[in-house]
Amino acid sequence: MNPMNNNFNNNSYNIYYDPQKAIRKWMFIHGSGAGLAVLGFLFIQFLASFVIGFLAVFMSNNAPEYIQSILNNYLITGIISILSCILPFSVYALIAKVDIKSSYKKSNLSAGFKVSLYFIAIGVCMAANYVSDIVQRIFSIFGLQPVMPDIYVPKDPANIILFFIAIAVIPAIVEEFATRVVLLNSLKKWGEKFAIIISATVFGLMHGNFVQIPFAFVVGLMLGYLAVKTGTIWLSMLVHFSNNFISALLSVLGNYLNSYVIVILNIVTMIAPILIGIIVFLIVTLRQKYSLALTPQQPLAIKRSEAAFYYFISPAMLIAIGVLMWMATTMIQTI
């Protein structure tokens, strides 16, 4: 049902009610709320960095090494990730009255269809690496090279376990909560595709560097699709975990295998899931047993592009995007 029809019926007695203005106002207000949540996410991370630096100055004779030792502690980085995602987005969800519980219910889709969606999604995630590569090649034309933050890969078993928890488990839980459970659900009444694209955009920007932004945007589209199609967050979390687990596993193996073997493994782990995903997609499409289509979007009183404009032009969201873009520019090197 068109959400604006409900609004029109509820306000039919008000001759001054303007559905176009109502949508613009809703987008502006909720864009502000989402922007404040993103700023809260950044603030907690910056605050954690400040506290670590403060402790380094007053508790260690060698501050740089002390800071690095803390940052290399994946238990601490995991806790920071949990706090920075859960706290601000929980506040936004509470204020905006976002339905969170429904995302954690059991999906009504058959197990076979969910398995098919899983393999298709993993293929899309691996293909997203090529999108990131294209963006990097565009930068290289201008003599620039985007980079990612350095990641310390431990070698001892205990820290390797924490590494996998911090890289694969925690992000799959907290990032899906922030972007798919909270942001996507808050926007879904305006159209499923609209909600997927907006939440994926925010998800991509939150990674703060031009290597991961295009990759995360494409992955975010797929994860958003899974959340909408299944009606729950569980499959999105599993795919998110699997994607990060593969990356973490290759990083750990890099400490033990020579570079040629790692290159081969990288190629295999990218190409094989893509091929499997394409095959599964063709099988599902040709058999026509399951429908991959989403619910058709109802027309709104304004174009969805205009609605997105008002969502992203709110002051808090503009500031958040500005900070994230500044962070991304600091992660660009000259070739």
Rounded to 5 degrees, φ, ψ at 57 are -70, -40
Percent helix / strand / coil, the chain, rounded to 5:
75, 0, 20
Q: Is residue 224 within 8 Å of residue 233, measured between CB atoms? A: no
Where are the chain's structural domains? 23-296+304-334
- Residue 258 has a pLDDT of 87
pLDDT at position 65 is 55
Model pTM?
0.90
Question: Which tens digit of pLDDT belongs to each residue from 104-116?
Answer: 999 999 999 999 9
Give the residue ranges of the chain where pLDDT is below 50.
1-2, 4-10, 12-13, 66
Q: How far apart, in whole angstroms, are the C-alpha atoms of residue 53 and residue 67? A: 6
- Check the CA dihedral 181-315-208-54 and report its sign: negative
Residue 172: enclosing H or E segment and its boundaries?
A: helix 170-176
Residues 69 and 75: their CA atoms lie apart, in Å, by 12
Predicted confidence at residue 5, as pLDDT, reads 46
302-327 core/surface letters (b: 16 or more CB in 10 A; e: else): bebeebbebbbebebbeebbebbeeb
The amino acid that residue 27 corresponds to is M
